[in-house]
Amino acid sequence: VIFLRRWRAASARIVPLGAEAAEAMAALHATGFARAWSAAEIEGLLTGRTTAGLGVRLGSAVMGMALVRVAADEAEILSIAIDREWRGCGLATRLLDRALDLAARRGARRMLLEVESGNAPALALYRRAGFREVGRRRGYYAAEGGGDALVLARDLADRARPFPPPPDAVASGPDRG
């Protein structure tokens, strides 16, 4: 069954999601986190200028979502969640990859996120995508029955830049000037 699901998941598309998808995103978020976010909260985020939504679309259904905030040269993954039935198919990996590109295109140089220290699937996902631990907030999730929060970061230098460098910068090479 997992093979069939993976095969179907391969035809999923990563799409931008706007405020109209807030209900679907709140439902997905609730499958993954002890503290639910309401559709109104998500809609509020998506109507602002700094936060973008991305979704995993399979046919007419949305099977995953990510919320990405970009402020100046720093981006943050506010949330990423995949429908339980569709976890383990590589969908979050694809979603995260697109979130990195989106952040870089909007001018971010670094992506940050916070994750519960015992969340093995999420840590595997982020480590594989090049994130490294830069901080730990002890007892951060204790109220929700969890442990510490790890702060992870990843440089976006390998991602698309908003503008190509000027021709003379290319000609002079990285070591000069």
Q: Please give the residue ranges that form the binding site for ligand COA (CB under 6 A).
A: 32, 80-82, 87-93, 115, 119-122, 124-125, 128
**Minimal distance in Å, beta carbon 128 to ligand COA?**
5
Consecutive H or E run containing 134: strand 132-137
Look at residue 40 and give its three-state secondary structure.
helix
Q: Which of residues 100 and 122 has its CB atom nearest to ligand COA in the complex? A: 122
Q: What secondary structure letter does DSSP report for 143?
A: G
Lookup result for tokens 């997992």: 2
Q: Which of residues 87 and 154 has its CB atom nearest to ligand COA in the complex? A: 87
Q: Which of residues 85 and 163 has its CB atom nearest to ligand COA in the complex? A: 85
**Minimal distance in Å, beta carbon 171 to ligand COA?**
40
46 in Cβ contact with 26 (< 8 Å): no
Q: Which residue is nearest to ligand COA (CB)?
A: 32
**Minimal distance in Å, beta carbon 113 to ligand COA?**
6
Residue 159 CB neighbours (<10 A): 17
Q: Which of residues 93 and 172 has its CB atom nearest to ligand COA in the complex? A: 93
Kindly give the pairing relationship between strand 110-116 and strand 74-82: parallel
**Minimal distance in Å, beta carbon 39 to ligand COA?**
17
Sign of the torsion angle spanned by Cα atoms 122, 124, 128, 130 = positive
**Minimal distance in Å, beta carbon 162 to ligand COA?**
26
- The residues with which 61 forms a beta bridge, in sequence order, are 58
Q: Which of residues 46 and 80 has its CB atom nearest to ligand COA in the complex? A: 80
